[in-house]
Amino acid sequence: MVRKIPLYQKDGSDMTQKSNPKFRQPAEWELHRACWLAWPSHADLWQEDLPVVQAEFTALCRAIADPGTGKAPQEKLEILVCDNGGRAAAAGALGDLPVRFHQIPFGDIWLRDTAPIFVTSPQGDLAATRFCFNGWGGKYNLPGDDAVASRISDAFHGEKLAYSWVLEGGSIEVDGEGTCLTSRQCLLNPNRNPNLSQTEIETRLKESLGITKILWLQDGLLNDHTDGHIDTIARFAAPGVVLCMTPTTHDDPNRPVLEQIARDLEGFTDARDRKLKVIKIPSPGMVTNSQGSILPASYLNFYLANHTVIVPTYGVEADQAAVRAISECFPQRRTLGLAAKTILSGGGAFHCITQQEPLVPMAFQERSR
């Protein structure tokens, strides 16, 4: 059964939202049962790049499912496929991994934004929380994307929550202790929730995801299709510790934005009143596609799996230094740089195409039956 928590009355007036304080969104470094992804299969979108995208996707999946040292559970893969042909292709590439396929239509692979956000409670409950999705402010309305969260929720064995306002998973970053990072360029953009003020959006974030303090950055990267998603500009590495990027080349197209982000972060305190420790990672600088257009390349779009931190790389000079710097922030995990430039040509990298499902003992036992 889905508990629907509405945003507006039928006449469009604001409606007091039911609080859901027992759930919180865990930090990404907390253990995962599985990672949800979608097999790249749309030749009309990726064209001649599709085989390379599938190869980059496969390498990512293998890194996520790495069994590691056995100190943490192996992370399972829940993979969406559009049809039988997609299932066969995905099985051929991934069939030896701990994977389960779900035949669910989707527009493209950006599950960070189209899938539910999974939340947990101290009692061991797990819930799939879905919000409205409007194609990143109406820019990219692909058939099936607006129903992905609902269909994944249907396949999910746990509590289901539904909110009637627009939120994308890549627009928020949490520390698991009540602090949320986001950007005004995205969450306050009139193409998302034009009838909501900043205060109203903060209230809804707190009620739906167990957040107690929201820290607002301003703008994201140049040519970011998502209007400034936080997962390309600032990421938590631990409670009280946040990563951002610093320009290292004279032609970095994001120099002013990156410098402002660092200044803003250095002035923040978190939900527990700690001054943030800000660690600066090299920026990839100028990364362009085959037509010469600047891409929103970011090393911060890494995915933090149970055993491995998987950092997107772009074939530029800063790659090795960035992977090394990120590895120092996660000493208990292996850090691996993997090529992601072809996936990036579609608008995002590894974090954008993944959505973690936390490991909760009761939920894990239910799924193991």
As given in the structure block, the two tokens for residue 261 are 């982000």
User: Which neighbouring-strand residues pair with 60?
Assistant: none
Which of 309-318 are b and which e, b meaning 16 or more Cβ less than 10 Å from the residue's Cβ? Answer: bbbbbbebeb
Neighbours of 325 (CB within 10 A): 20
Spatial CB neighbours of 32, under 8 Å, sequence gap ≥ 6: 75, 305, 306, 356, 357, 358, 359
Are 298 and 246 within 8 A, CB to CB? no
As given in the structure block, the two tokens for residue 257 are 């934005």
For 211, counting Cβ atoms within 10 Å of its Cβ (0-12 exposed, 13-18 middle, 19+ buried), the class is buried
Alpha-carbon gap, residue 220 to 257, rounded angstroms: 7
Angle at 337 between CA 268 and CA 302, to 5 degrees: 35
Alpha-carbon gap, residue 129 to 41, rounded angstroms: 26
Write down the number of H helices and E strands in the chain: 12, 17
Q: How many residues does the chain have?
A: 369
Neighbours of 181 (CB within 10 A): 25
Alpha-carbon gap, residue 170 to 242, rounded angstroms: 16
- Active-site pick, 35, 180, 244, 352: 352
Does residue 82 carry a catalytic annotation? Answer: no
Alpha-carbon gap, residue 157 to 288, rounded angstroms: 42
Tell me, what DSSP letter sits at residue 275?
B
Dihedrals phi, psi of 327, to nearest 5 degrees: -60, -35
Active site residues: 352
